[in-house]
Amino acid sequence: MAENDIKGQLHIVATPIGNLADITIRALDTLRSVDLILCEDTRVTKRLLDAYEIETKTMSYHQHSTETKVGEIIALLQEGMHLALVTDAGTPGISDPGNMLISAVNQQTDIIVSPIPGASAIVAALSISGFPTDKFLFLGFPPHKNKRNKFFKEVAEAQYTVAFYESCHRIDKALLQLQEVLPKGSLVCVCRELTKKFEQIARGTIDEILNIKTPAKGEFVLLVYNKKK
């Protein structure tokens, strides 16, 4: 497609997962230069923007946004606007409702979607785990009710390092479910509040992890490595 045929541009901007200093120069330049920033929660994004004295206008886009809102955003892009999409923390579109918007925009041939890479809780956790990372399986969040047992069985049977998120409300339950299914010798890494003041990282067997009694507060990334003898 010729350059003259391109209308708007949607920038997928990674933001800090905790420490506000973990943002790239390119991300800051993008947030300053776009016409509008699409936010999961405008109040959360405002704290980041205020920290860097960025005055760009914001608009909410989240998991409860309707198809009408998606249409409105696409219309702005087709008018030639440059927009940035951010999530509350980390990279938009990764286990995140932003993926639905990105998919819809990608169907428009006259709009460019460009990545502005940066922080990701999954990558941060993998980087310090010490587990094999040449191949890994990312499973998002475990189901709340139905198919939860199936989820943890899949974790226990995986041939590669498994990474997934869990909420503070279900972390204790998740660890107990892992204890029930993991093969002997499996290693677990629990990362809590990565890059934040109360960051905590625990590694060991599931029994050792349970003995540590990690506080059920904050945000969690869990990694499992079914070590072969």
Domains of the chain, by residue range, sit at 3-116, 121-225
The pairing of strands 36-39 and 58-60 is parallel
The reported pLDDT for the residue numbered 4 is 58
Task: Decide if domain 121-225 falls under CATH 3.30.950.10.
Answer: yes
* Tokens encoding 208: 């050792």
The reported pLDDT for the residue numbered 3 is 53
What is the pTM for the complete model shown? 0.90
Contact 22, 119 (CB under 8 A): yes
* Tokens encoding 25: 């120069």
Average pLDDT value for residue range 33-62: 96
Integer Cα distance of 76 and 205 in angstroms: 51
**Residue 2 pLDDT > 60, yes or no?**
no
151-189 pLDDT, tens digit per residue, is: 999 999 999 999 999 999 999 999 999 999 999 989 999
DSSP state of 92: T
The reported pLDDT for the residue numbered 189 is 98
76-120 pLDDT, tens digit per residue, is: 999 999 999 999 999 998 888 888 999 999 998 889 999 999 999
The reported pLDDT for the residue numbered 129 is 97
* Tokens encoding 180: 């029930």
* Phi, psi values for residue 6, rounded to 5°: -80, 135
Identify residue 159 by its one-letter amino acid code: Q
Q: Could you tell me the sign of the dihedral formed by the alpha carbons of 162, 167, 168, 171, in that order? A: negative
DSSP state of 142: P
Q: Choose the weakest-confidence range: 63-67, 103-107, 145-149.
A: 63-67
Identify residue 16 by its one-letter amino acid code: P
* Tokens encoding 23: 């943002």
Fold of the CATH domain 3-116? Cobalt-precorrin-4 Transmethylase; domain 1 (3.40.1010)
Give the pLDDT band (50/70/90) at residue 229.
Answer: very low
Q: Report the percentage of the chain scoring pLDDT > 70.
A: 97
Contact 219, 44 (CB under 8 A): no
Average pLDDT value for residue range 60-75: 89
Q: Which residues on neighbouring strands pair with residue 188, listed in sequence order?
A: 204, 224
Mean pLDDT over the full length of the chain: 93
The reported pLDDT for the residue numbered 33 is 98
